[in-house]
Amino acid sequence: MTRVLLLIIAILATAGAALAYGDPKQITKAGTLVTEILRKQVPPMLRTVDVPRGDGGEFALQATINGIATPMVIDTGATSVMLSYETAKAIGLPVELLAYNIDVETVSGRTKAARLTLDRLAVGKLVERSVPALIVPRGLMKSNLLGMSFLDRLESWEVRADKLKLRGYP
């Protein structure tokens, strides 16, 4: 609402300058002035999430998948978001109907996983839609992994000391 109001004010100010001055140089100068004022008054919408390092050295967080809170561990070595069978079932995914035909390597060893697309995956203010994910068979994973199929959609992510910062596009 505030942005719309500021945009209307900017348009009116520029139109007023055009009528008042009629000089193209003065109009450009007025437009630049209005733009500078707006930039100072409207801070950019920051879409960042800071994740502290856990006692075991991992970066764990609470994500929301299709509206259901889900614990996850960030894993930059995982090509995809990976969910345990138990988590997938708890959030209402059709685990019994999936084809477990994708070869994957987990901490527990080699197995087959099922491919699907998550409608919505959110980590704080960072929300992504249609995120590719893999589901592993029952009992093979204890932790859900937030892998590169989510992380690659971000503007950036970085680790500094004991904090992982995820940055989404504005």
CA distance 130 to 115: 12
Residue holding tokens 């592993």?
136
Compute the C-alpha angle 161/163/169, nearest 5°. Answer: 125
Rounded Cα gap, residues 116 and 94, in angstroms: 10
CATH ID of 48-167, from 3.30.750.80, 2.40.70.10, 3.40.190.10, 1.10.10.10: 2.40.70.10
Distance CA 61, CA 92 (A): 20
The model's confidence at residue 42, banded by pLDDT at 50, 70 and 90, is low
Nearest CA to 154 among 166, 144, 163, 165?
Answer: 166
- Judge whether residue 79 has pLDDT over 90: yes
User: Which strands sit side by side in the sheet containing 163-167, from one edge to the other?
Assistant: 48-52, 163-167, 156-160
Please report which confidence band the pLDDT of residue 44 belongs to, taking 50, 70 and 90 as the band edges.
Answer: low
Given a cut of 90, is residue 11 above it in pLDDT? no
144 three-state secondary structure? coil
Residue 24 has a pLDDT of 73
Indicate the pTM of the whole model: 0.73
pLDDT in tens, 126-145: 999 999 999 999 988 899 99
The mean pLDDT value for 73-98 works out to 95
> Mean pLDDT across the stretch 39-67?
86
Whether residue 33 is predicted with pLDDT greater than 80 in this model: the reply is no
Q: Residue 129 has what DSSP assignment?
A: E
Which of 42, 40, 71 has the alpha carbon at shortest distance from 58? 71
